[in-house]
Copies of this chain bind each other. A is one copy, B any other.
C-alpha cells in the first residue's frame, strides 16, 4: 500500500494503530473459514470519529475496507477478498458504554465480546439471550453484521430481535443514527433493519443499543432418545406446536452420536436414530415441571424410548456433553468438514433430514447432522478426505444438492452464518435475478464506489 495512505491512517489513529508489516498482514489474512486473503494494511481505529475519517478518505481514494471483529465468522465475512485495509474494531472499540436498568437496554461498542455483555447484564439480573456458539470470542459488531443466532433462538429470537438502535458510519464518512432506545419508532426508513445481516458491506457499526430482558430464575435440562431421526424431528415441531417453547432444543443424529462415543466413551446410545437435548427455563419449579411434562408426553408419543430429566447441574452438563463436543468429534468421518447451517420451517425438518440422507447415499459420503432444531436450523456436515480433491469435489456437489432440497422446502441457505464468500456461489439458487439486482442497488445506495467489503454475498 502506498506510503502516503499509511501515513494518513497513522495521522488519524496514531502510528501504534496502523500496521503493514508481514506479521500483521498474515495474522489478519484468516478467519474461521481458514481461507487466506492478505490485506495491504491493518488499522485499529480508536473511536467513531476516526472510523468516519478513515471511511471518507478510503472512499475518496478508492481504498477497499474490510471491517473485522473477532474474525470468527464461518463464511469469510471478515476476509479482505480484494485486499485493501482491515479495519479491526476489537482492540479499542470494545467498551460496554452503558447498562440502562430503567429502560432495560445496553449500549455497547462493536468490539465487545458477546459473553462479556451476557455476564455484565446477568450480574444485574438482566438477560441478553443471543448465544452463538462463538459467544466466548465473537464480537457484538460481528453478531449484528451476521445477525447471529444461537441455541436460545427458538424461545428468545436472534440478534435482530434485540437490536434497538445502531450507529453506523457509511462510506462517505457520515455517521448515521438508526433507531432509538424506544420500543416504537417509525420515523424514517428502518436503517438498522437493513444494516443487520449486511455482513459489513453497507457501513461500519460503531455503537449498538440492545434490548435486555429479565433473567429467568431457573432452568432444567432433559434428553430423549429416538429410534429414528424422523421421530425426533416430529417430536420437535409437535412440542412447539403444543405450546411449549424450550430455550434450546438441540439434536444429534446417529452419525454424530457415534462420533462422540468413539472419542469419549460416555455410554451414549449408539444405535439411536437421534437424541434431543432440551433446556426449559422460567421463574418457578412448577413452570419447569409443566413444560417438562408436556415435552415428556410429546416425546413418548413420537417414539422416544428413553427420557431423562437432569436434577443437578452435573447431570445437566452430562446430558449436554455430546452436543457440546460433537463438532470436533465428527472429523472421524473425514479430515475436511463442509459445514452448512441450512434452516427450514420446523414442520419441514423430517423431510429435510430425509432428503439429506438420500443425498448422502447418492454421493456415498457421511453427512452427520446436529443443531438447533427448535428453530429448524440444522448444521449439516459433509465429511470428506481433505487430501483427495475428487472427494472434495463430490462433497461440494452433495452440498449443492442439499441447498436445492432446502430451498425446495421453503428453507434458507443460511440460518446464522451468513453468505460471505463461502456461500456466494449458491445465491442464485435462492434468489431471482431481480432480487440480486435489488441487493446490488441497495449496496450502491450506501456504497457507490464499492469500497466496503466487496465481493461478498454474491453481489
A146 and B183 in contact, given A102-B241, A104-B240 (Cβ under 8 angstroms): no
- Report if A190 contacts B (CB, 8 A): yes
Chain B residues with Cβ under 8 A from A438's Cβ? 170, 174, 176, 191, 445-446
Q: Of the listed stretches A261-269, A316-324, A391-399, A416-424, name the one at the interface; the rest are far from the partner chain.
A: A416-424
Complex-state Cα separation, A181 to B407, whole angstroms:
12
Q: By DSSP majority rule, is chain A's interface helix, strand, loop, or mixed?
A: loop
Asked if residues B188 and A376 are in contact (CB atoms below 8 Å), the reply is no
Nearest opposing residue in chain B for A176, CB measure = B435
**Pick the contact of A180 from B185, B411, B416 — CB < 8 Å?**
B411
How many chain copies does the complex carry? 2
* Cβ-defined contact, B190 with A376, below 8 A: no
Please tell me if A193 contacts chain B, counting CB pairs below 8 Å. yes
Q: Contact: A435 with B174, CB < 8 Å?
A: yes
Partner of A188, one of B189, B190, B416, B431: B431
Among A169-193, those with CB < 8 Å from B are 170, 172, 174-177, 180-191, 193
**CA gap between A415 and B188 in the complex, in Å:** 11
A103 touches B172 (CB 8 A): no
- Determine which of B345, B418, B441 lies in contact with A182 in the assembled complex, contact meaning CB atoms within 8 Å: B345
CB atoms of A186 and B446 under 8 A apart = no
A65 at the interface (CB under 8 A from B): no
CA distance in complex: A175, B433 (Å): 11
Cα–Cα distance between A248 and B414 once the two chains are bound (Å): 36
Tell me which residues across on chain B come within 8 A of A189, comparing CB atoms.
194, 197-198, 202, 439, 442, 457
A interface size (C-beta, 8 A): 79
A185 engages B442 (CB within 8 Å): no
Is A29 close to B, CB under 8 A? no
Contact status A180-B412, CB under 8 Å: yes
Please, how many angstroms separate the alpha-carbon atoms of A147 and B183 in the complex? Answer: 12
A274 to B15, CA, bound (A): 59
What are the 4 A-B residue pairs with the smallest beta carbon separation, nearest first?
A: A193-B193, A174-B434, A184-B415, A102-B347
In addition to A189-B197, A190-B194, 15 A-B residue pairs with Cβ atoms within 8 Å of each other are A100-B347, A101-B241, A102-B237, A103-B345, A153-B183, A154-B183, A174-B435, A182-B415, A184-B376, A184-B412, A186-B417, A188-B419, A190-B197, A190-B198, A442-B445
**What are some 26 contacts across the A-B interface (CB < 8 A)?**
A102-B346, A103-B346, A149-B186, A161-B161, A175-B434, A180-B412, A181-B410, A183-B343, A184-B376, A184-B377, A185-B343, A185-B415, A186-B197, A186-B412, A186-B417, A187-B419, A187-B427, A188-B419, A188-B427, A188-B431, A188-B435, A188-B457, A189-B194, A189-B197, A189-B202, A189-B457
